[in-house]
C-alpha cells in the first residue's frame, strides 16, 4: 500500500485514509462536508462532528478507502461470521471485497488487505487491480 496513507484521531476513534483505494464516489464529503473536505488540508477533520456520525459516513465508503478503528475495539471479540470475507458485485461498477485477504499480483508481489477494497471489473482502471472510478467515464455496464 501507499505511503500516502493517513490517520486522523479524536479521543474515541482513528479514521484511516487509503488514497490508493479511493474510487471517488464522493459519498464522504457529500454526506459530511464539515469533516471530509477535499479542498482543505488536512482534508479529514475528526473533531468537526460527533464520532457516531463520522462512523456512519465511513461505513458508507464503498471502496474501503476510509475505515476506522474504535479505540476500545478488540477485533478478537467479533463473531466469526463477521470475519468472513465477502464479495459484493456493484451494478456497473467494481467488486467490493470486505474482509481479510491477499492479492497476488502478476509480478508475484503480494498485498495484504484488511477491511474493504474495490477491485476493477471494467478493465479501464489506471490503478489495477483496484477501481479508480474510471468505470463511470467509459459507461461500463455489467
Ligand atoms: S470498475 Fe471501476 S475502474 Fe473498473
Which of 25, 64, 126, 134 maximizes ligand 1 atoms within 8 Å of its Cβ, making it the mutation to test the pocket? 134
Residues 87, 61 share a domain:
no
Cα 31 to Cα 99: distance, rounded to the nearest angstrom: 24
Cα 52 to Cα 23: distance, rounded to the nearest angstrom: 24
Q: For residue range 21-60, what is the model confidence (pLDDT) as tens digits?
A: 888 889 999 999 999 999 999 999 999 999 999 999 999 9
Q: For residue range 98-142, what is the model confidence (pLDDT) as tens digits?
A: 888 899 988 999 988 888 889 999 999 999 999 999 999 999 999
Which has the closest alpha carbon to 69: 4, 27, 10?
Answer: 10
Query: What's the pTM?
Result: 0.66
Atom of ligand 1 nearest to the CA of 132: 3
119 ligand 1 Cβ < 6 A: no
Please give the distance, rounded to the nearest whole angstrom, from the Cα atom of residue 90 to the centre of ligand 1: 10
User: Is residue 42 in some structural domain?
Assistant: yes
Please give the distance, rounded to the nearest whole angstrom, from the Cα atom of residue 94 to the centre of ligand 1: 5
CB atoms within 10 A of CB 92: 12
Grid coordinates representing 62 are 464503498
What's the pLDDT band for 20 if we cut at 50, 70, 90?
A: confident
| pLDDT tops 70 at residue 74 | no
More confident residue, 75 or 133: 133
Could you tell me the residue range of the domain that residue 119 belongs to?
83-137
**Predicted pLDDT of residue 73:** 65
User: Is residue 142 in some structural domain?
Assistant: no
User: Is residue 45 in some structural domain?
Assistant: yes
Cα 44 to Cα 54: distance, rounded to the nearest angstrom: 10
- Split into its structural domains, the chain has a count of 2
**Predicted pLDDT of residue 14:** 93
**Predicted pLDDT of residue 81:** 60
Give the end of a domain, one of 36, 51, 71: 71
User: Is residue 60 in some structural domain?
Assistant: yes
| Sign for the pseudo-dihedral over CA of 96, 45, 18, 11 | negative
Closest C-alpha to ligand 1, atom 2: 131
121 ligand 1 Cβ < 6 A: yes
CATH code assigned at 16: 3.30.70.20
Amino acid at each position: 500500500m501507499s505511503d500516502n496513507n493517513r490517520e486522523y484521531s479524536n479521543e474515541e476513534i482513528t479514521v484511516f485514509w487509503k488514497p490508493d483505494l479511493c474510487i471517488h464516489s464522493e459519498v464522504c464529503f457529500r454526506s459530511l462536508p464539515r469533516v471530509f473536505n477535499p479542498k482543505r488540508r488536512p482534508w479529514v477533520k475528526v473533531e468537526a462532528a460527533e464520532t457516531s456520525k463520522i462512523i456512519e459516513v465511513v461505513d458508507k465508503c464503498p471502496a474501503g478507502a476510509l475505515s476506522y478503528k474504535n479505540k476500545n475495539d478488540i477485533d478478537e471479540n467479533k463473531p466469526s461470521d463477521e470475519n468472513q470475507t465477502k464479495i459484493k458485485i456493484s451494478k456497473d461498477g467494481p467488486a467490493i471485497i470486505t474482509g481479510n485477504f491477499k492479492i497476488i499480483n502478476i509480478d508475484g508481489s503480494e498485498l495484504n488487505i484488511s477491511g474493504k477494497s474495490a477491485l476493477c471489473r471494467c478493465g479501464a482502471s489506471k490503478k489495477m487491480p483496484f477501481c479508480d472510478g474510471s468505470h463511470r467515464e467509459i459507461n461500463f455496464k455489467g
